[in-house]
């Protein structure tokens, strides 16, 4: 069921997160992050941060409906896009880190959905006028990465203190002193999404469907890379699969309701 305002988006995400906490459903990890982004965008629109607030709300609602439609399709037994299918099916596994579940959702929503939403909100030549606000919405997501990464370390440390230290060290080693691995991944995803949005905005209906199919296939390959087992992931995952409900409460703390 499509939503029509950011307030409706927040209400749906709250509902999904609460259900996930009750059911111990790992599909709730991504919306716990996404809810923060949506609330922050809503506040920034109210504060006049974006060049065109009404357009940004329209864009963000279209963007959110991409995720909500995929979630509802999968929940109802229908087939979402290939990349979202990967993410939702992976939620059944207890062998993945919380970080991997988050990256799968971010990959699907940014690499595939973001460009589609941008092209729909600003078709044709209008896409260039969206560029600055497009990058601002990505800045919102990037600004929240540090907080979420701290929570991931806290989640790992709650299982084992040395596991939390290992995850923090791995993030620093992967991304350098000032940039984490997730931040670097988001930069690349944002650039892919913008290039995709520009191609899509100028495409006719037939070319549009072909572009979306290609982008979905590419995003699915990226998802498969996130799912690849490695010794480091296996080491960090030791003892870290137990309490999905508590993990969700940590990720969603302070954001449900309102």
**Which pLDDT value is given to residue 77?**
97
**Which pLDDT value is given to residue 177?**
41
230-237 long-range contacts (CB < 8 A, ≥24 apart) are: 232/170, 233/97, 233/100, 235/166, 236/97, 236/156, 236/163, 236/166, 236/167, 236/170, 237/95, 237/96, 237/97
**Which pLDDT value is given to residue 145?**
63
Average pLDDT over residues 131-154: 72
Q: Is the pLDDT of residue 194 over 80?
A: yes
Q: Is the pLDDT of residue 248 over 60?
A: yes
Give tens-digit pLDDT for 31-75. 998 998 899 999 999 999 999 999 999 999 999 999 999 999 999
Q: Is the pLDDT of residue 231 over 70?
A: no
- Lowest mean pLDDT, pick from 118-122, 231-235, 239-243: 231-235
List the one residue out of 101, 188, 186, 87 whose CA is nearest residue 145.
Answer: 186
**Which pLDDT value is given to residue 175?**
44
Per the CB < 8 A criterion, the answer to whether 134 and 200 are in contact is no
Average pLDDT over residues 128-151: 77
Per the CB < 8 A criterion, the answer to whether 72 and 144 are in contact is no
pTM summary value: 0.85
Q: Is the pLDDT of residue 81 over 80?
A: yes
Give tens-digit pLDDT for 82-131. 999 999 999 999 888 888 898 899 889 999 999 999 999 999 999 999 99
Per the CB < 8 A criterion, the answer to whether 113 and 38 are in contact is no
The most confident of 63-77, 125-139, 180-194, by mean pLDDT: 63-77
């Amino acid at each position: 069921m499509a939503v029509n305002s950011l307030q409706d988006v927040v209400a749906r995400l709250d509902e999904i997160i609460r259900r996930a906490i009750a059911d111990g459903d790992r599909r709730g990890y991504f919306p716990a992050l996404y809810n923060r982004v949506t609330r922050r965008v809503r506040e920034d629109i109210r504060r006049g941060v974006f060049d065109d607030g009404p357009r940004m709300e329209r864009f963000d609602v279209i963007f959110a409906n991409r995720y909500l439609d995929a979630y509802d399709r999968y929940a109802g037994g229908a087939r979402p896009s290939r990349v979202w299918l990967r993410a939702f099916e992976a939620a059944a596994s207890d062998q993945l880190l919380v970080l991997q579940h988050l990256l799968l959702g971010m990959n699907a929503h940014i690499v595939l959905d973001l460009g589609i939403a941008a092209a729909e909100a600003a078709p044709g030549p209008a896409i260039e006028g969206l560029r600055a606000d497009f990058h601002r919405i990505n800045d919102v997501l990037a600004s929240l990465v540090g907080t979420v990464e701290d929570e991931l370390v806290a989640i790992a440390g709650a299982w084992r203190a040395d596991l939390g230290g290992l995850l923090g060290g791995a993030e620093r080693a992967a991304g350098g002193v000032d940039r984490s691995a997730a931040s670097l991944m988001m930069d690349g995803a944002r650039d892919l999404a913008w290039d995709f949005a520009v191609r899509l905005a100028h495409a006719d209906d037939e070319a549009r469907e072909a572009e979306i199919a290609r982008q979905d296939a590419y995003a699915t390959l990226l998802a498969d890379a996130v799912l690849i087992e490695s010794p480091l992931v296996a080491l960090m995952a030791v003892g870290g699969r137990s309490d999905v409900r508590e993990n969700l409460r940590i990720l969603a703390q302070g954001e449900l309701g309102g």
